[in-house]
């Protein structure tokens, strides 16, 4: 059966040259980077090179990169590491209503310990209004965290503007750039952020490895204590195979960025037009222009996203929907609800996220099959009864 993978926002395939390098660092350069012998020195060289490659992707200095177990740990380290240093009781943090759960569940945990948290509302396109952030800043605010690009709807935030407002008040600023890294040109110095999370498996590297950028002079309290790894910011023997794989994936992403972006945008626009043109009562979610090159999120009225997903899967197409199964019930996405979508529209949403391996043929396969799936589901949908 034909298989078309359009869930690259969930994870991406590891590219062959990256997998090869990982294998080399498992069986050949397997040393502990802390060891002084040849094996250790070889490992250390791999670690240093990867740190330069990852730093290069976002315009950072290698010393400003702390390797973590992924985007989730990087987000946790930013939020909890700043709170542990600056205090929780009587302190205040600002984030947005559409963050990844790695942020939202971290801030909720700190709220239970006494931190005050403001969740900034977003407009119908998923944009944070800088004025709202300006008004939310207080003398006791320790950190603001707003994601660079949203993982569900792809909306890109005005990070430079948001970070500048915080800088002017001496408030630290973190951005979750996990979805944006490898797709958008990112420069931490131009954005002037203090902290940034990125993850390897969203940019064709292995899972279980990511990084937190920590601007020189900015400090966070470590979450894990042990040896003096990562300049005492994250203890534990380094995941060297993961790190070198991440490094190479980051380097290749940087080199390929302009062509990758062009390729993805063309496919995305073809897919969006094909779906909106081919299916009545369908609409695009997220910002029409300020969106990730690979993101196509649509709501299709009178049908359930989950039913569409199952039918697409039967035809070999992998996508995702705006509902998450929490304790046996389908919960509509907090992102779509925050953008003002009704529960029905949120439940009727589909996310197609493209990758470098996708072709126009993949997109056309979706465009030629989805309308039929929707028509059949609408025939049996009580929501659609009596409509055209
Ligand atoms: C995937 C993702 C994460 C989590 O990263 P992991 O490496 O899977 O832990 C965090 N934030 C965003 C926006 C993501 O898309």
Query: Which DSSP category does 358 fall into?
Result: -
Closest approach atom of ligand 1 to CA 208: 7
Closest approach atom of ligand 1 to CA 149: 13
Q: Give me 81's structure tokens.
A: 């590491």
Residue 197 vs residues 42, 76, 175, 187: alpha-carbon distances, Å: 27, 10, 7, 13
| Residue 325 annotated in active site | yes
* Residue at a domain's end among 253, 268, 302: 253
User: Of the residues 67, 100, 196, which should be mutated to test ligand 1's pocket, given the most ligand atoms within 8 Å of the CB?
Assistant: 100
User: Of the residues 69, 102, 153, 184, which should be mutated to test ligand 1's pocket, given the most ligand atoms within 8 Å of the CB?
Assistant: 102
Distance 29 CA to ligand 1 centre (A): 29
* pLDDT tens-digit readout, 66-110: 999 999 999 999 999 999 999 999 999 999 999 999 999 999 999
- Beta-bridge partner residues of 108: none
* Same domain assignment for residues 109 and 240: yes
Q: What is the model's pTM?
A: 0.97
* Residue at a domain's end among 195, 223, 253: 253
* Same domain assignment for residues 177 and 80: yes
* pLDDT tens-digit readout, 14-73: 999 999 999 999 999 999 999 999 999 999 999 999 999 999 999 999 999 999 999 999
- Residue 138, φ and ψ in degrees, nearest 5: -130, 165
Tally of structural domains, the chain: 2
Domain residues for the domain of 380 are 4-12+257-384
Closest CA to 369 of 345, 387, 352, 388: 352
* Same domain assignment for residues 26 and 165: yes
Q: What is the CATH number of the domain that holds 295?
A: 3.90.1150.10
* Residue at a domain's end among 253, 277, 308: 253
* pLDDT tens-digit readout, 103-144: 999 999 999 999 999 999 999 999 999 999 999 999 999 999
* Same domain assignment for residues 180 and 248: yes
Closest approach atom of ligand 1 to CA 207: 7
Ligand 1 neighbours (beta carbon < 6 A): 70-72, 75, 100, 102, 147, 151, 176, 178-179, 199, 201-202, 210
* Same domain assignment for residues 103 and 243: yes
* Same domain assignment for residues 205 and 272: no
Annotate 344-378 with b (16+ C-beta within 10 A) or e (fewer). ebbbbbbbbbbbbebeeebbebbbebbbebbeebb
**Nearest residue CA, atom 3 of ligand 1?**
71
* Same domain assignment for residues 101 and 217: yes
* Same domain assignment for residues 219 and 298: no
Q: How far apart are CA 124 and CA 114, in angstroms?
A: 31
* Same domain assignment for residues 184 and 268: no
Distance 265 CA to ligand 1 centre (A): 22
């Amino acid at each position: 059966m034909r298989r078309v993978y359009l869930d690259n926002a969930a994870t991406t395939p590891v590219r062959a040259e990256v997998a090869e390098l990982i294998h080399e660092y498992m069986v050949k350069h397997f040393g502990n980077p802390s060891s002084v012998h040849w094996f250790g020195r070889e490992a250390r060289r791999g670690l240093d090179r990867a740190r330069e490659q990852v730093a290069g992707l976002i315009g950072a200095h290698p010393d400003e990169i702390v390797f973590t177990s992924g985007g989730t740990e990087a987000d946790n380290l930013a939020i909890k590491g700043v709170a542990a240093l600056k205090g929780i009781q009587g302190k205040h943090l600002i984030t947005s209503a559409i963050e990844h759960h790695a942020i939202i569940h971290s801030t909720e945990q700190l709220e239970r310990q006494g931190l005050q948290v403001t969740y900034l509302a977003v407009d119908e396109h998923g944009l944070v209004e800088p004025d709202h952030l300006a008004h939310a800043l207080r003398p006791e605010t320790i950190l603001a965290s707003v994601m660079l690009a949203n993982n569900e709807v792809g909306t890109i935030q005005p990070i430079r503007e948001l970070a500048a407002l915080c800088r002017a008040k001496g408030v630290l600023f973190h951005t979750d750039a996990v979805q944006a890294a490898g797709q958008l040109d990112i420069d931490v110095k131009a954005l002037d952020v203090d902290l940034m999370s990125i993850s390897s498996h969203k940019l064709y590297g292995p899972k279980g490895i990511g990084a937190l950028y920590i601007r020189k002079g900015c400090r966070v309290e470590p979450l894990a204590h042990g040896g003096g790894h990562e300049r005492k910011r994250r203890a534990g023997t380094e995941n060297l195979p993961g790190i070198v794989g991440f490094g190479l994936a980051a380097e290749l992403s940087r080199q390929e960025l302009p062509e990758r972006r062009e390729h993805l945008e063309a496919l995305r626009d073809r897919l969006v037009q094909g779906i909106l043109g081919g299916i009545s009562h369908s609409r695009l979610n997220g910002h029409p222009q300020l969106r990730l090159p690979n993101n196509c999120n649509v709501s299709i009225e009178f049908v359930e996203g989950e039913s569409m997903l199952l039918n697409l899967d039967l035809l070999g197409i992998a996508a995702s929907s705006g509902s998450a199964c929490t304790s046996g019930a389908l919960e509509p996405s907090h992102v779509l609800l925050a953008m003002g979508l009704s529960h029905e529209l949120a439940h009727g949403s589909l996310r197609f996220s493209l990758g470098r391996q996708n072709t126009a043929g993949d997109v056309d396969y979706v465009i030629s099959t989805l309308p039929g799936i929707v028509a059949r589901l609408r025939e049996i949908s009580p929501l659609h009864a009596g409509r055209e």
